[in-house]
Each structure stands twice: as C-alpha cells, then as structure tokens.
Amino acid sequence: MTSLRERLGLALQRQRQVHGLSQAQLARLAKLSLKYVGEVERGEANVSMDALERLTTALEWDPFELPLREQDTLPEGVRTLLLAELTHMQHLVQTAISWVQTLDAAMVRRATQAETAPVSHWGDDQPIRPRGRPRKLREQPAETADE
C-alpha cells in the first residue's frame, strides 16, 4: 500500500495536469519552489498544511471533495478523438435528414402533379394509333452462303 504522502502527491499531480499546468507554473502560482512541488508530487516531501493550502488554492481544488474515479474520466487525446468522431457522425446524420426531406418534398410534388394531370379521354381498351403514313422498312442485304 502506498503512503498518504504518495497518494496526496499523485492526487495533486492529477489536478495539476487537469488544469494544464506545469510544475513550474503551479510552483509560481502557489509561491513555492519548483523543487518542493516536485517532491510533494513524488511523495518525498512531508508537506506542511500551509504549503498544501497554497497548492490547493492555486489549483482551486478541495482535496476533501469526493474525486471522480479514474475510469469515469477520459484522457484528453481520447476525448478529442471521440468528440471529432461524434461531430462527424452529427454531420452525416444532418446530411441524411436533408436527403430524406428533399426526397419527401419531391414525392409530394410528384403526387400533386399526378392529381392535377389531365385525364385521358381514351378508354384503356382503345389502341393508340400512330399518325401519318407507315414507314417503309429498308431491305436487308441477303446473306451469302460464304459467310
């Protein structure tokens, strides 16, 4: 089992990383030395309450709040990739919805045009008669026996 100092150091390191700060930036904000912040994060320093308060204030972090379990949070790279995939999927869905709306509108127009189209006066049983004179078919050359 790890010591309380080591667990506190790891929790502090996670919070620092969540805020996107380097150890040097945290040290500057907390008005502590870089060496000391590194020792606290590694669990090597016996951190004083005053130093702990400076660190937690700089991170706007209450170490007594129940932290999120690690498996409930996504690493930054995974979150970025997932967000990009979801954005792409949203675009595909929006495109598909647009296509369906366009097709639906075309079907409504086609149905409306069919309702307003003139009705034929010829019955279904009457043949369609061509106009004009019938064309004369061209004669095909006769095939020879050599072919």
Kindly report, residue by residue over 8-61, the tens digit of the pLDDT: 999 999 999 999 999 999 999 999 999 999 999 999 999 999 999 999 999 999
The pLDDT assigned to 112 comes to 84
Distance separating alpha carbons of residues 27 and 30, to the nearest angstrom: 5
Give the ranges where 1-147 is alpha helix by DSSP (H): 4-18, 23-30, 34-41, 49-58, 76-116
> pLDDT tens across 83-138, in order?
889 999 999 999 999 999 999 998 988 888 877 766 555 555 555 555 666 666 66
Amino acid at residue number 65: E
> pLDDT tens across 66-98, in order?
655 555 577 778 888 888 899 999 999 999 999
The pLDDT assigned to 53 comes to 95
Q: Which pTM does this prediction carry?
A: 0.46
The pLDDT assigned to 118 comes to 64
Token couple for 18:
């969540």
pLDDT at 145 over 60: no
Please name which of 33, 92, 100, 19 lies closest in space to residue 61, comparing C-alpha atoms.
19
Token couple for 82:
């997932």
Please name which of 11, 88, 92, 121 lies closest in space to residue 19, comparing C-alpha atoms.
11
Distance separating alpha carbons of residues 84 and 77, to the nearest angstrom: 11
Amino acid at residue number 85: E
Domain at 4-72, CATH class: mainly alpha
Please name which of 55, 45, 50, 49 lies closest in space to residue 21, comparing C-alpha atoms.
55
Domain range summary for the chain, segments of one domain joined by +: 4-72, 74-115
The pLDDT assigned to 43 comes to 93
The pLDDT assigned to 121 comes to 57
